[in-house]
Amino acid sequence: MTGTLVADPSSTLAGRRVHVKVPATSANLGPGFDTLGLALAQYDELDVAVADTPGVHVEVHGVGAGEVPLDESHLVVRSIAHAFARAGVPLPGLSLVAHNTIPHGRGLGSSGAAIVAGVVAAKGLLDGVVEFTSDELLELATELEGHPDNVAPALFGGLTIAWVTPDGPRHKKLIVHRGVSPLVLVPEHEMSTALARSLQPESVPHEDAVFNVSRSALLIAALIQSPELLFQATEDKLHQHYRAGAMPETDRLIRELRSAGHPAVVSGAGPSILVLASDPSERADAIARAEAVADTAWQALPLAVDFLGATVQPA
């Protein structure tokens, strides 16, 4: 990151206020474990202001209200603090008001969205004082999230391929074919990403690795050019079956949807399901099928792909 010499950053930042908007995301997309992610048009929005007094004031409306902490341990505040620390600027007092719609604990990138909101808010508040490159924003967010597959699409929008290098995480953004019509099915219960990750084996058979390499490569072609290949391209042997016992309802409904020809996968670490339908009519068929066979309540969210990623504007 590059800084501009400012005699007293705290007086420069006084009164600054930004509005941040961050999309939900679905990671893995079947075979692309810890690598592929898609930004979806459902958003958390926040107003963040530099306060006159030290400390933080946090208000949360919508999803998470009454559940998430309202002090320095709030994930957005921790993320802002992380970016300020890296920039070498003392953290000012902050007032933060969040309006959240991304469900928590359902595999739709809510923690990644909170982290990205913080990093992007810091970028906005430090405008003209410290400049962050795209790689630096991704690095800051990945440091807090642990893996880049949700934070990359939350930051940049569209379909993202994210990978880790000795110099930090990197990403490539791709524009999804306009036929692709994502459907998210959200159950009432939550799933812990930490638990899901603990179910992954240390090593996998070579043939399973080859299987996923082929499907991940095919998935990129299917998503940007050939949606008719989405069913085969969403096959996976690296993570979903290891985790299936921890989310039996998800596993059952995915089997039902796939047996009817729908490209259904676990969204992120679950328990939501992502169906990558090739057109809106297939999406409607998948909703009808899910309603007919599901044994528990699922909320159907037909969501567009978000092509913009996180935005920050002076407010």
Sites of contact with ligand HSE (CB under 6 A): 27-28, 33-34, 147, 149-150, 193, 196-197, 239, 268-269
Q: Is residue 155 a contact partner of residue 141, using CB atoms and an 8 Å limit?
A: yes
Q: Are 161 and 36 in contact (CB under 8 A)?
A: yes
User: What type of residue is 112?
Assistant: G
Least gap, CB of 150 to ligand HSE (angstroms): 6
- Expressed in angstroms, the distance from the first to the final Cα of the chain is 24
- The nearest distance, CB 28 to ligand HSE, in angstroms, is 5
Please tell me the distance from the alpha carbon of residue 177 to that of residue 229, in angstroms, as a whole number: 12
With a CB cutoff of 8 Å and minimum separation 6, the contacts of 298 are 185, 186, 187, 253, 273, 290
CB 27, min distance to ligand HSE, A: 4
Of 28 and 234, which CB lies nearer to ligand HSE in the complex structure? Answer: 28
CB of 146 to ligand HSE, least distance (A): 8
Residue 95 corresponds to which tokens in the numbers above? Answer: 């007032």
Cα atoms found within 13 Å of the Cα of residue 226, Cβ hemisphere only: 11
Q: Which is nearer to ligand HSE, 33 or 156 (CB)?
A: 33
From the CB of 194, what's the least distance to ligand HSE, in Å?
9
Q: Which is nearer to ligand HSE, 21 or 147 (CB)?
A: 147
Closest distance of CB 116 from ligand HSE, Å: 13
Cα distance between residue 23 and residue 42, in whole Å: 6
* Token output for 83: 């970016």
Closest contact distance (angstroms) between CB of 267 and ligand HSE is 9
Residue closer to ligand HSE, measured from CB, 66 or 201: 201
Q: Is 257 exposed, middle or buried (0-12, 13-18, 19+ CB in 10 A)?
A: buried
Cβ proximity to ligand HSE, 173 vs 239, nearer residue: 239
59 forms bridges with which residues in the sheet?
Answer: 97
Residue closer to ligand HSE, measured from CB, 112 or 124: 112
Instruction: Compare residues 169 and 268 and give the one whose CB is closer to ligand HSE.
Output: 268
d(CA 159, CA 223): 8
